[in-house]
Amino acid sequence: MVELPNHSGDEKDPHPTGEQAVEIKSELDFEVTQQDVENLKTQVIAQLINKTTNFPNLTKSPALIDQFNEVYHIFEHTVKDREGHSALVIGPRSSGKSAIVERALNDLLEKYKDEFIVIRLSAYLHSDDNIALREIARQLDYHSKKFNNDEDNETLTHKFEQRGISDTFNNILAILDDAPSNSKDSDQSLQSAAIIFVIDEFEKYTGNNKQALLYNLFDLSQTSSIPICILGISTKITTGELLEKRVKSRFSQRIISINRPKTVEEFWENAKLNLIVDDKLLGNEKYTHLWNEHINKLFNEKSFGQDLRSSSNLLKIVYQIYFTTKNFKEFNNNCIYPVSRLSIESPFLRDSDFTRYLSKQSTNNIQDIIKSLSTLELLLVIAAARFIERIDLQVINFNMAYKEYEDMMKLFNMASTTSNNATTNSYIDNIVLTNLKVTQKTWLSKVLKNSWETLYKLGVIIDVVTQSNELNAANNNINKNFIIEENKMVQLDVTLEELAQIMEDSTVFKKLTKL
């Protein structure tokens, strides 16, 4: 156990770099042990990386509390009052959508254990209707086994999941719908449980023209005799509009939206919740109390309106993130290093540690970005640049770039078969590569759409600057929310010629930079 000194004015500061920390220590005399620091560190890092704790301070967030309550009540109505429901949670990346839903499900589990089951889908993992359906069947299967303990294990194992997709869905429908009629059935408990579907990246299921999965799910939520709740999570504000008519008519039209913070103060009020620890949570209440106070102090070091250059690093970071991405996860990433440096000698955050993460980030110039792209992203950039060069149009959208990509890959594959004879420059190459057909796969547009989004996020493609919006252009680019429609016209920040210069000579795709 170490007793921290109570500084009087003339005492020498033992940790000159820990300026901020000492300031608080001098206010109060308190004791802190190695264990206390370790506990706090573990807790805060867990909050920052959002692994096990799942944003414990969520209910303190003014930006999320109403949305959280709404989601919770929808779930509760489904489970307690046995009503079918559907809703969409819409908000930008890292705005707490998943946090809200997971927390609501956790709270629900405490109160209504065994009265509901959750089926989770994510369009990133279960990329089309068939895969999603199989996944639903698999999860239902798993739950039904759990509900029935081990008794009927054998017979239930493949109850839902059938070989044919349509069989599977029919099976699910039949079993869900027939609840009262065969109540003697062995999976009675499953039938009486409510089912909550949580569908992440919801808008990606609206892609195919029939929207069969969504249609069936929404239909189920309205007609099924057991209560079913469909909760979609999406980043696209237009998601509601993307639903086909007959799907839309079955959706409750309930949309819960999460907005970005509107002021720096508001951003900070939310962001700091990831650093703050509940006073009662850890053993040493006094320490956690001081810890929380200290975090507020760090930020308020220099009040707003003063010259930013002389203010605390934390404040600079908050400003920087607020005026660029407003992304809470980015803020968390910046805090991990300072928190990991906590020790018994300096039990509070040191402001000087804060710039460390930022200074290690790449400089973000276009050369570095191009070099860091994946093959697919690079090919898409080349295709876009070729299109612009060929058509002599300054703007481009995803559909155009994709068309060019297809043509380009055709050309590339044709060339790669024939050219081997002519261009190989060593004897071995001649032997090995002659008549060897090396083709590049041409990916589907839905695969490339993600790459397009990444390029937008990285700033390789940027919003169009016209004379009328030139003044706002800087703001527009900064505030863009990383979601980009297929037909949205954008500009490319690099030309074909520049690409040819940036790319290494050894890259096979370099020849594509010549028209």
Residues at the contact surface with Mg ion, assessed by CB under 5 A? 98
Nearer to ligand ATP, 78 or 270 (CB): 270
Nearest to 483 by CA among 94, 98, 211: 94
Q: How far is the CB of 64 from ligand ATP (least distance, A)?
A: 5
* Among Mg ion, ligand ATP, none, partner that 63 touches (CB below 5 to 8 angstroms by kind): ligand ATP
The interface with ligand ATP within residues 197-256 (CB under 6 A) comprises: 235
Alpha-carbon distances of 290 from 29, 45, 50, 129, 513, rounded to whole Å:
11, 18, 23, 52, 59
Q: How far is the CB of 332 from ligand ATP (least distance, A)?
A: 6
Structure-token pair, residue 128 = 């089309």
Q: Which residue's Cβ has the minimum distance to Mg ion?
A: 98
Only segment of 297-305, 325-333, 403-411, 474-482 that touches ligand ATP (CB under 6 A): 325-333
- Which listed option, Mg ion, ligand ATP, none, makes contact with residue 71 (CB within 5 to 8 Å by class)? none
* Distance, CA of 481 to CA of 327 (rounded, Å): 10
CB nearer to ligand ATP: give 99 or 298.
Answer: 99
Closer residue to Mg ion, CB minimum distance, 125 or 414: 125
Q: Is 55 in the site for ligand ATP (CB under 6 A)?
A: yes
Three-state SS for 151-166 is CCHHHHCCCCCCCCHH
CA–CA gap between residue 258 and residue 101 (Å, rounded): 12
Q: Which of 88, 271, 275, 448 binds ligand ATP (CB under 6 A)?
A: 271
Three-state DSSP state, 490? strand
275 binds ligand ATP (CB under 6 A): no
* CA pair distance 477, 464, nearest whole angstrom: 9
Instruction: State which H helix or E strand residue 232 sits in.
Output: strand 228-234
Residue with smaller CB distance to ligand ATP, 55 or 398: 55
Query: What are the structure tokens assigned to 259, written together?
Result: 């907005």
Kindly calculate the radius of gyration of the chain based on its CA atoms and give it in whole angstroms.
28
Nearer to ligand ATP, 214 or 271 (CB): 271
- Determine the 3-state secondary structure of 461 from DSSP: strand
**Locate tokens 């608080």: which residue?**
24
The binder of ligand ATP chosen from 63, 87, 242, 448 (CB under 6 A): 63
State the nearest-atom distance from the C-beta of 320 to ligand ATP, in Å: 17
| Residue 442 DSSP code | -
Q: Would you count residue 96 as binding ligand ATP (CB under 6 A)?
A: yes
CB 272 within 8 A of CB 296: yes
Residues 297, 129 contacting (CB under 8 angstroms): no
Residue 43 binds ligand ATP, judged by CB under 6 A: no
Q: What are the respective helix, strand and coil percentages of the chain, to the nearest 5?
A: 55, 10, 35
What's the rounded Cα separation, in Å, for the pair 451 and 379?
10
272 close to 295: Cβ distance less than 8 angstroms: yes
- Using the minimum distance from each CB to ligand ATP, give the nearer residue, 75 or 169: 75
Are 28 and 289 spatial neighbours (Cβ–Cβ below 8 Å)? no
Question: What, of Mg ion, ligand ATP, none, does residue 91 touch, CB below 5 to 8 Å by kind?
Answer: ligand ATP
CA distances from 219 to 150, 164, 181, 204, 206 (A): 32, 21, 20, 19, 15
Q: Of 196 and 378, which CB lies nearer to ligand ATP in the complex structure?
A: 196
Question: Is 288 among the residues that bind ligand ATP (CB under 6 A)?
Answer: no
Amino acid at the residue 158: H
Work out how close the CB of 98 gets to Mg ion at its nearest, in angstroms, rounded to a whole number.
Answer: 3
The answer to whether 312 contacts ligand ATP (rule: CB under 6 A) is: no
| Site membership for ligand ATP, residue 67 (CB under 6 A) | no
CB of 92 to ligand ATP, least distance (A): 7
Q: Is 434 strand, coil or helix? A: coil
Site string for ligand ATP, 166-185 (x = CB under 6 A): --------------------
Considering only residues 457 to 486 of the shown chain, the ones binding ligand ATP according to CB under 6 A are: none
User: Nearest approach, Cβ of 235 to ligand ATP (angstroms)?
Assistant: 5
- Min. distance of Cβ 259 from ligand ATP in angstroms? 10
> Interface with ligand ATP includes 329 (CB under 6 A)?
yes
Q: Quick one: what does residue 93 bind among ligand ATP, Mg ion, none, with the CB cut-off 5 to 8 Å set by partner type? A: ligand ATP
DSSP assignment, residue 5? P
User: Which of 20, 332, 346, 513 is the binder for ligand ATP (CB under 6 A)?
Assistant: 332
Q: Which residue has the tokens 């994709």?
A: 402
Interface residues toward ligand ATP, by CB under 6 A: 50, 55, 61, 63-64, 91, 93-99, 235, 270-271, 273-274, 328-329, 332
